[in-house]
């Protein structure tokens, strides 16, 4: 049976005092989660704090982006090896905000995915279509191309140590969640796309749904056969809400 994972993506939010309270609450509440793993992806400056508060707990932590390059003259870029040095387990790559605001193309995302894998991090590869793409029937074309770019560059076997997050752009931060059926259809498509290359890896691949997940809708989403957890934005900043989502992912 596939594992379950709920990961928080804090985006550019947080401060030392608020983080201390939020991380402390998550650490305590996650201790008795069963059959579901929990992680937080925090802004770079707070990785030190996340490690301090979460060390020796059941909660993992990670970054929200990573450089496609190694050490060197790349002002502002943070390498995968640096993230490992702070004991990150995960790093998000190809989030739609990185793609749309910072102009990251599929090839750059694939290079970041490779850099993360090589350093021993688990990349959380985000894919998803815009509203216009969905309404013009292009979801599979867009998501397929996002997956194919990584498979072409790194091979399907690289998916064996990754997580995929399906995040329809129209559902991110909008309060408009994909229906469980819409999300399930996209997740099944993603799994089939990987299965065409490697059936065993596809069957084991953890695929998260992201986009306006809340405690109130998490249970219905996680009940779908190909939805293995969530990547949570706004609701990950509210301790009780985030932990309720983690509990909705439990398998007892
Ligand atoms: P929201 O949960 O705020 O919609 O954000 C989702 C997301 O982008 C997670 O990466």
Q: Inform me whether the pLDDT recorded for 101 exceeds 90.
A: yes
What integer pLDDT is reported at residue 62 of this predicted model?
98
Per-residue pLDDT at 1: 76
Cα dihedral value 145, 147, 151, 153, nearest 10? 60
Separation of alpha carbons 149 and 19, rounded Å: 35
Q: Are 213 and 232 within 8 A, CB to CB?
A: yes
- In 3D space, the residue among 178, 165, 187, 164 whose CA is nearest the CA of residue 218 turns out to be 178
Model confidence at 34, pLDDT cuts 50, 70, 90, reads: very high
Q: Residue 49's pLDDT is what?
A: 98
Query: Any catalytic annotation for residue 95?
Result: yes
The residue annotated as part of the active site, out of 97, 129, 167, 198, is 167
- Is 123 within 8 Å of 93 (Cβ atoms)? yes
Over residues 91-99, the mean pLDDT reads 98
Does the Cβ of 149 fall within 6 Å of ligand 1? no
For position 83, what pLDDT does the model report? 98
Task: Indicate which residue of 95, 104, 129, 133 is catalytic.
Answer: 95
CATH number of 5-248: 3.20.20.70
Q: Once rounded to an integer, what is the mean pLDDT over residues 164-179?
A: 94
pLDDT tens per residue across span 117-168? 999 999 999 999 999 999 999 999 999 999 999 999 999 999 999 999 999 9
Q: What is the pLDDT of residue 7?
A: 99
Q: Ligand 1 center to residue 8 CA distance, Å?
A: 8
What is the C-alpha separation between 52 and 61, in angstroms, rounded? 11
pLDDT, residue 235, reads 98
Residue closest by Cα to atom 1 of ligand 1? 233
Q: Is 124 in the pocket of ligand 1 (CB under 6 A)?
A: no
Check residue 158 and give its pLDDT.
95
pLDDT (average), residues 163-180 = 94
Gap between the Cα atoms of 143 and 126, Å rounded: 9
Ligand 1 atom with the smallest distance to the CA of 211 is 4
Mean pLDDT of the chain: 97
Does the annotation mark 167 as catalytic? yes
Helix, strand, coil tally for the chain in percent (to 5): 50, 15, 35
Q: How confident is the model at residue 252 (pLDDT cuts 50, 70, 90)?
A: confident
Q: Output the residue whose Cα is nearest ligand 1's atom 7.
A: 233
**Which parts of 42-190 are beta strand (E)?**
59-63, 90-93, 122-127, 163-166
């Amino acid at each position: 049976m596939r594992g379950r994972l709920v990961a928080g993506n804090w985006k550019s939010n947080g401060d030392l005092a608020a983080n201390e309270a939020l991380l402390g609450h998550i650490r305590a509440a996650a201790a008795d989660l069963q059959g579901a793993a929990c992680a937080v992806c925090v802004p770079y400056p707070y990785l030190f704090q996340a490690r301090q508060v979460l060390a020796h707990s059941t909660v993992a932590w990670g970054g929200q982006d990573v450089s496609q390059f190694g050490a060197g003259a790349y002002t502002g870029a943070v390498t995968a090896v640096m993230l490992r040095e702070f004991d990150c387990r995960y790093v998000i790559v190809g989030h739609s905000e990185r793609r749309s605001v910072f102009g990251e193309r599929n090839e750059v995302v694939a290079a970041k995915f490779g850099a993360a894998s090589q350093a021993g991090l688990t990349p959380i590869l985000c894919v998803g279509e815009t509203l216009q793409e969905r309404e013009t029937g292009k979801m599979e074309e867009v998501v397929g191309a996002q997956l194919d770019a990584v498979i072409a560059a790194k091979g399907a076997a690289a998916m064996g140590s990754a997580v995929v997050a399906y995040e329809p752009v129209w559902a991110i931060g909008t309060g408009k969640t994909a229906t469980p059926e819409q999300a399930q259809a996209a997740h099944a498509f993603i799994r089939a796309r990987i299965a065409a290359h490697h059936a065993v890896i596809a069957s084991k691949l953890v695929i998260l749904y992201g986009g306006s997940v809340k405690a109130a809708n998490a249970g219905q989403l996680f009940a779908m056969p190909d939805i293995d957890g969530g990547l949570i934005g706004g609701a990950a900043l509210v301790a009780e809400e985030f932990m309720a989502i983690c509990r909705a992912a439990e398998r007892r």
